[in-house]
Amino acid sequence: MISKKLCEQILLTAMSSGADFAELYAQNTQSNYINFIDGRVDSINDVILSGVGIRIFNGTKTVYASTTDLTEVGLINCAKTVASAFVDIKHTEIQNINLYERVVRNSHFIERNPANAPAKIKTDILKTACFAAKNFNSKISQVNGAFMDSDHKFLVANSDGIYVKDRRILTRISVSAIASNNGENQSGFHAPGKQAGLEMFDIIKPQDVGTHAAAQAITNLNADYCKAGQMPVAIENSFGGVIFHEACGHSLEATSVGIGTSQMAGKLGQKIANEKVTAIDDGTMPGEWGSINIDDEGNAPQKNILIENGVLKSYMVDRLGSRRMSTPMTGNSRRQGYEYEPTSRMTNTYIANGKDKNEDIIASIEYGLYAKELGGGSVNPLTGAFNFSVCEGYMIRNGKICEAVRGASLIGKGSQILQDIDMVGQNLEMGQGMCGSSSGSVPVNVGQPLIRVSKITVGGR
Amino acid sequence: MDFTAIKDVLVNEAQAQNIEQYEIYCRRNKDVTVETLKDEISSFASSDISGVCFRCIENKQMGYASGELFDETALRSLVFRAKENARNIECDEEPFIFKGSESYEKSKLTPFISTDAKTLREAALDIQKNMYEQNDKVTDGTQSYAMTYETEIYICNSNGLELTNHVGINGAYASAVVCNGDESAYGLKFKQGVKKEDFSDIAEIAVTEAIEKLGADEVKTGKYNVIFDGKQMQSILSAFSSAFSSKNAQMGLSLLKNKENTKIASDCVSIIDDPFYPECPMQTHFDAEGVATYKKDIIRNGELKTLLYNLSSAKKVGKQTTANANKGSYAGTVSISPYCMTIEPGKYSFEQLMELAGNGILITEVKGLHAGANSVTGDFSIESAGFLIENGKKAKPIKSFTVAGNFYSLLLNIAALSDKIELGIPGGFTVFGSPAVLLRDMSIAGK
């Protein structure tokens, strides 16, 4: 990592043309990838990413440059590149920047760092998961698995005097199972991850990961296509929380709120959701996939109450958003790596437990859909229009979960869906995903208990 | 990035470790993007990123290691790591370090010249100003972008092969936001090149697209004749393009296994893969294994002529590679992707296609394909927006509905195609293009 003295020199150079703030982000990440398919370990690859990003501000104007040239000359040149983008700005020369190293409190205890583990330990875990899927049912025709781990070390230094280093160790396993019958394929998927080392598999059994994916594939193979139309939907916990992530979470990021392209802009203090909805973004949760010790601007994460009993309480705000919105930062600045300028992002975002009993939620639906597991989705923060896929679903008739259905998707408008969440259960659980946005792909948890949406458009046949 | 210096260190280390078969793949990407907000430049970003991948055959397996550090110690460690990684692989495909093709087709493009920062700034500001002048409904959140991107690739291997390629793309992008009371809508337009004469058109197209969306209604659930415009059909083709990978077919991840030389699409459908497609600036004369690339029919008049192969997947079934080995970045393992994959245009003008549809839905926006399209099963159910088609004419805008179907059935059910291709934005060396297509009786879920 880069010394304090050199960081000071780089920041001064970057600010030489009139910037009122400068920041340096340096990264060294070792990532390992193992892929398994057709009963064999198909490929192993490891990558060491190493680079620096330098950003300057003048008010709300930003300049960013990134480089893999980590020589002193290369770094100073990168700083000169950003400085050269500000022209004709009246300024007085900054004489010096004094950086103070801050020690970060680690909330995520890592027992066995996967980056240091022999590949065989990891391939054995992956094989256990994949063979469990393959052996689940004779109709499982193919199993594709992956083991991923990364050891991410980074440094943030800025002209406010921050000089702080941190390390994030992430481990994830995924299994995709294909079930086939009469020339038709259906799939199932499961991919748990944690901010943890190999000890993660003391809690999450690899064979359970495999059987989860395989069972879903078999369920879908035996299912008929979901009928299209508007209906009430019960969305299960864990990754079901992607509904809040897409329908509302992105619209609460300063990235869109700060420039007025969010349906939620200007609504602080207003009732934007059903009173049963309390939603939280919490980057402090120990060992969780979306947690951080510090955000990617060097700030401490927080437990942010976004919506409390239906009332909008907070946005998620990074440094640029803070300047645009004249509101404090919330520890939500994130980026995939040095190539990306950071922006406001979610961490672990969830709808809190409610007071409704789960069995009452199902019993309350005469005809509707039980979305047991959701896939990914997307949203347009401007209009609030969102979509996501249902990986495993069942029809509900007369208050009972009935036959499985496949190929469903859910669409709607965020502001409407928040009002239509009219029952909230009590089995809060988190699911893991990768969230893509302008600052790249970052690990996030989504979560919720079982909820009921009184009416939503279900895409199907 | 000094390719020769990197090569020298890696070759010496490979020899020291008795590795006979190896390849060095280096890549340098440079880009600059300028972004506006309101009437000023809000962001200026540039990057200059280099990386190297060393891969080698050890124990009859291909091991990979990659990095962005170029000191001697870091480079030497790549060799050791790749060798170690190979020892734990169990793949049954034969790995290859390629000896080189007899000849390599040369691109007809003139050498790439990146647009300078000053021109990018002026372009973004000009487009932004144009958008605000187009219509008084254009509002905050409207943004313009101008960008330049270039990539330089160098491959050398233990068989003496040595190849380089340097290409890039300049472009301008308008993102218009319009507001009418409580209702907002947006429109987007990207155009290759940063040419002053294009700026007003780019602005006008983005603003018009946004304005046309205002007042959109919902549509009733049912079966409709559907036209996907070229941009949306290109997105669908992209989402399901992995079905044409021979490796995916061999592994049962595509339903096109054993379908070569059989009918898989409507007679009017032909799909071509062309690494030298004239309108695409991201051209390459060699693939990620160093094999000479060439234009090929994937589907001709409804018949699947070939899947896409790399050296290993071709060897497995006794065929020749189609030179479609691809690396998403310098650090990736070799996979299989198309270059410029286009559906050949049909014989109808867009207006005639609308008349053929009679009554139905014109889809001008699909979203969430990454989640709503399953390339293994072919199923899709995706959020869409567009316009009603009434008596062959574009009628009122509609939104908040899904269109559902299956890609393999869709190929068989294409009734007609328009005569003009809409080309997408390249992602690396891969880009998709399609004319508008007409399909009958598609499932629509709305109100």
pLDDT of residue A355: 97
pLDDT per position as a tens digit, B275-304: 999 999 999 999 999 999 999 999 999 999
pLDDT of residue A46: 94
CB-based contact B402 A411, cutoff 8 Å: yes
Domain locations along chain A: 4-33+42-102, 114-153+168-222, 229-459
Same fold, A4-33+42-102 and A114-153+168-222: yes
Distance CA B142, CA A60 (A): 16
CB-based contact A261 B140, cutoff 8 Å: yes
CA A247, A248, A252, A257 torsion-angle sign: positive
State whether residue A67 sits within 8 Å of chain B by CB: yes
Measured between alpha carbons, how far is residue B49 from residues A339, B86, B111 in Å? 8, 27, 21
Helix (H) or strand (E) holding B106: none
The mean pLDDT value for A189-211 works out to 97
Q: How distant is the Cα of B325 from the closest Cα of chain A, in angstroms?
A: 15
pLDDT per position as a tens digit, B6-47: 999 999 999 999 999 999 999 999 999 999 999 999 999 999
CA torsion B316-B318-B319-B323 (nearest 10°) is: 40
Reading the block at residue B380, the tokens are 């899709």
Share of chain A above pLDDT 70, in %: 100
Q: Which single residue is written with the structure tokens 């195609």?
A: B417
Question: What end-to-end distance do the CA atoms of chain B give, in Å?
Answer: 57
State whether residue A62 sits within 8 Å of chain B by CB: yes
Interface of A with B in 390-419 (CB under 8 A): 406-409, 411-413
The mean pLDDT value for A379-400 works out to 92
pLDDT of residue A42: 96
Q: Is the pLDDT of residue A261 over 90?
A: no
User: Chain A residue closest to B28 (CA)?
Assistant: A68
pLDDT of residue B182: 87
The mean pLDDT value for A360-370 works out to 98
Tell me, yes or no, if the pTM score tops 0.90: yes
Domain spanning A4-33+42-102, CATH class: alpha beta
Q: Is the pLDDT of residue B1 over 80?
A: no
Interface of A with B in 345-384 (CB under 8 A): 375-378, 380, 382-383
User: For residue A140, what are the β-bridge partners?
Assistant: A179
CB-based contact B400 A457, cutoff 8 Å: yes
| B-chain residues near A413 (CB < 8 A) | 400
CATH of region A114-153+168-222, choose from 3.30.2290.10, 1.10.3720.10, 3.50.30.50, 3.40.50.2000 = 3.30.2290.10
Q: Nearest-CA neighbor of B206 among B257, B141, B269, B283?
A: B141
pLDDT of residue A92: 80
Q: How distant is the Cα of B269 from the closest Cα of chain A, in angstroms?
A: 23
pLDDT of residue A461: 84
CB-based contact A42 B67, cutoff 8 Å: no
- Mean pLDDT is lowest, of A92-96, A335-339, B269-273, B352-356, for A92-96
User: Chain A residue closest to B77 (CA)?
Assistant: A48
CB-based contact B47 A65, cutoff 8 Å: yes
Distance CA B272, CA B135 (A): 40
Of A37, A43, A341, Cβ closest to residue B251: A37
State whether residue A70 sits within 8 Å of chain B by CB: yes
pLDDT of residue A211: 98
Q: How distant is the Cα of B143 from the closest Cα of chain A, in angstroms?
A: 10
Share of chain A above pLDDT 90, in %: 91
**Residue A383 banded pLDDT, cuts 50, 70, 90:** confident
Distance CA A381, CA A375 (A): 19
Q: What are phi and psi of A352, to 5 degrees?
A: -70, 160
DSSP symbols for A24-42: EEEEEEEEEEEEEETTEEE
As a residue count, chain A comes to 461
The mean pLDDT value for B437-445 works out to 95
Strands (E) in B181-262, as ranges, are: 183-192, 222-228
pLDDT per position as a tens digit, B230-248: 999 999 999 999 999 999 9
Its ipTM equals 0.91
Of B48, B67, B446, Cβ closest to residue A67: B48
CB-based contact A387 B382, cutoff 8 Å: yes
Task: For residue A430, give every residue at least 6 positions away whose Cβ sits within 8 Å of its Cβ, in sequence order, or none.
Answer: A238, A241, A288, A289, A348, A350, A445, A446, A447
| A-chain residues near B217 (CB < 8 A) | none
Interface of A with B in 256-275 (CB under 8 A): 259-261, 263
For domain B3-213, the CATH architecture is: 2-Layer Sandwich (3.30)
pLDDT of residue B75: 96
Domain locations along chain B: 3-213, 222-445
The mean pLDDT value for B162-190 works out to 95
Task: For residue A449, give every residue at least 6 positions away whose Cβ sits within 8 Å of its Cβ, in sequence order, or none.
Answer: A237, A351, A353, A354, A358, A424, A425, A426, A427, A428, A429
Number of inter-chain CB pairs under 8 A, A vs B: 231
CB-based contact A68 B48, cutoff 8 Å: yes
pLDDT of residue A183: 86
CB-based contact B331 A47, cutoff 8 Å: yes
| A-chain residues near B382 (CB < 8 A) | 387, 409, 459
CB-based contact A119 B85, cutoff 8 Å: yes
Question: What end-to-end distance do the CA atoms of chain A give, in Å?
Answer: 55
Q: Which single residue is written with the structure tokens 């980590």?
A: A70
Interface of A with B in 272-311 (CB under 8 A): none
- Mean pLDDT is lowest, of A84-93, A234-243, A321-330, B358-367, for A84-93
Q: Is the pLDDT of residue A366 over 80?
A: yes
Q: Is the pLDDT of residue A246 over 80?
A: yes
pLDDT per position as a tens digit, A10-45: 999 999 999 999 999 999 999 999 999 999 999 999
CB-based contact A142 B50, cutoff 8 Å: no
The mean pLDDT value for A376-401 works out to 91
State whether residue A203 sits within 8 Å of chain B by CB: no
